[in-house]
Chain A
Amino acid sequence: MKGRTVTLTAPAGTAAARRRRPSAARRAWQTVSPYAYLAPFFTLFAAFGLFPLLYTAFVSLYRVELQTPGDMEWRGLGNYAALFTDEFFWISLRNTFTIGVLSTVPQLVMALGLAHLLNYKLRGRTFFRTAMLLPYATSVAAATLVFAQLFGRDFGLVNYALGLVGIDPVDWQTNTVASQIAVSTIVIWRWTGYNALIYLAGMQSIPSELYEAAEMDGASRWRQFFHVTLPGLRPTIVFTAVVSTIGATQLFGEPLLFEGSVSGGISHQYQTLGLYMYEQGWGFFHLGRAAAIAWVMFLLILVLVGVNALIVRRRSRKEAGR
């Protein structure tokens, strides 16, 4: 490799001496070859990425059953009508929202605090960073099975610990609020460290002159955090908020494996939209209905990303006006 590089970066004079007009075939290849580089990705992308995404909207207008996915019967907006009259749809929509807030907000706030600490000069900082990313390396399934055990009503460690400080055992499964907190805890545990590292990366790209200037103005460290760090991090915060919200919209593995049932608890108390979709499709065999749910989730995400774009645009306009 090294030898080759030397040839390639040979003085311009030598290269010019060797320059020939490329043949027609060669020039034709040069126009076509970029597409050859793209072909493997875009073939797969079209077949397994784009097509399923778009076709979902189409399927949602048909009656399709799991046992006979080849037979499609036109249903118009029937799947959507069935959806909007099903109380469990509204329950799962509400649960997705509440679990989303319960998991995203504490997660991002704690991540911000941890990132701030990780940004100090620390002994063993690689250790801290790596250790905090450990939960991210765990699968949803593994994490949920462990937490389901920890949150056991009768013999769970969480209730035992609560008992030590005089709190009565909590029914983490049947109680609506408690079960949603438990499910959110799994999400928070898995993603806080990851978000902390993203924030840390953002913090490190804030120019240190800004802090020096703030220091000279006599700004306290708290004020520096609020007036230098936070504004500098705003794009990163918007990014993590959007990614976490999209993740929350999709939440599936945690509520599925918390007790192992597709209904998300005995009275659907922690069933999310993702789990509701799975229940309709692979529990009740209604693929068409499941596609309608997927499409509703997609629209939900579009709205969220739209809000994000608006915030970012407003922000850059503000900056341009400055």
Chain B
Amino acid sequence: MTVRRAGRTLHGGRVAYAILVLAVLVSAFPFYWTIVAASRSNADLAKVPPSLLPGPNLMRNFEAVMEEADIGKALLNSLIVSGSITVGTVLCCTLAGFAFAKLRFRGRGALLAITVGTMMIPPQLGVIPLFMLIAELEWVNQLQSVILPGLVSAFGVFFMRQFLVQALPDELIEAARVDGASSARIFWSIVVPIARPGMAVLGLLTFMAAWNDFFWPIVALSSQNPTVQVALRQLGGGYVNDQSVIMAGTLLGTLPVLLVFGLLGRQIVGGIMQGAVKG
């Protein structure tokens, strides 16, 4: 079946390929089905046997979903929210990660322990006080209520710290100090250029997570000012009965992430595998 070689250099045989292809098909089928269902009519979907090829109704369903769930506004809001969260998170995490990786200061161990210790605690557990807080600030239904809490990423700090511990030689900072470079100058001219690959990976992961975040946005926002996930929740909440329209909304809401994934999938794969070894 396979050529026998030591450990990890084994060649895959036919069975291995067959199973992997099957896994890829299972992974991809729901996407294909979304396209099929979104391009047909509700009546088509209730037919036996079901039609397995795309139909002619895609544009009509897109228009219907734009009207019923305001997906256009949702897409724009999601872009604003995910974009701001990505930029802010990467910046905050690079700053903090650099301090934890390369600077010596009192309380470093304790602060890092708090950060890493809360990494595993899902933010979902804090939603009630968080909701009371934004109600107090009168931020309910406003985008900052989703953006600001979204900037907190203990994982990001840890990720950037691990990256910089390895990528940034101590001597480089030492030399810059000796040369009289200021702290800010060291950060922008030495740390950031070296941290860039790590920042890119963190940015990608953060963008996808922010785009797909579900619990907090549906608590903090409503259908008047929705992100994509809030709009999808509304679509699935029973107000819309036309399945093909629901699928059209799902397709529109998923396309942007799929686009990012299509362009940068390799980097995302690399980032997740990197994070696994370091984490």
Contacts and interface: CB of A to CB of B under 8 A. Distances in A.
B27 A137 contact: no
Interface of B: 2, 4, 6-12, 16-17, 19-20, 23-24, 26-28, 30-31, 33-34, 37, 45-50, 91-93, 95-96, 98-100, 103-105, 108, 111, 114-115, 118, 120-133, 135-136, 148-149, 151-152, 154, 157, 171-172, 175-176, 178-180, 183, 187, 189-190, 193, 208, 211-212, 214-215, 219, 228-229, 232-233, 235-238, 243, 246-247, 250, 253-254, 257-258, 260-261, 265-266, 268-269, 272-274, 276-277, 279
Given A56-B128, A130-B266, A201 B276 contact: yes
Contacts of B92: 40-41, 44
Nearest to A240: B276
Contact of A50 (B50, B118, B175, B247): B118
B269 A133 contact: yes
B7 to A, nearest CB: 2
A35 B149 CA distance: 21
Interface string A255-282: 0110011000000000000100010011
A148 interface: yes
A100 interface: no
A131 interface: yes
Interface of A: 1, 4-5, 7-10, 15-16, 18-20, 29-31, 33-38, 40-42, 44-45, 47-53, 55-56, 58-59, 64, 69-70, 113-114, 117-122, 126, 128-135, 137-150, 154-155, 157, 160, 189, 192-194, 197-198, 200-206, 208, 210-212, 214-215, 221, 224, 228, 236, 239, 242-243, 246-247, 249-250, 252-253, 256-257, 260-261, 274, 278, 281-282, 287, 290-291, 294-295, 297-298, 301, 305
A132 B27 contact: yes
Of A29, A59, A201, most B-chain CB atoms within 10 Å: A201
B150 to A, nearest CB: 8
Contacts, number: 341
A274 to B, nearest CB: 7
Of A40, A149, A252, most B-chain CB atoms within 10 Å: A149
A139 B214 contact: yes
A44 B152 contact: yes
Given A120-B16, A208-B7, A133 B272 contact: yes
A204 to B, nearest CB: 7
A131 B258 CA distance: 11
Contacts of A137: 208, 212, 257-258, 260-261, 268
A140 to B, nearest CB: 5
A282 B229 contact: no
A52 B20 contact: no
A37 B179 contact: no
Nearest to B7: A211
Given A56-B129, A117-B16, A204-B8, A142 B253 contact: yes
Which secondary structure characterizes the binding site on chain A? helix
Contacts of A131: 24, 27-28
A139 B95 contact: no
Given A5-B172, A130-B268, 15 more contacts: A33-B103, A40-B91, A40-B92, A40-B96, A48-B133, A52-B128, A56-B125, A118-B20, A147-B30, A157-B33, A210-B7, A215-B6, A252-B215, A278-B219, A290-B128
Contacts of B49: 160
A56 B131 CA distance: 11
A249 to B, nearest CB: 8
A140 B253 CA distance: 11
A143 to B, nearest CB: 7
Given A35-B105, A40-B91, A64 B233 contact: no
Contacts of B254: 138-139, 142
Given A149-B243, A253-B215, A48 B180 contact: no
A33 B175 CA distance: 18
A137 to B, nearest CB: 4
B209 to A, nearest CB: 10
Given A15-B179, A19-B178, A141-B236, A37 B99 contact: yes
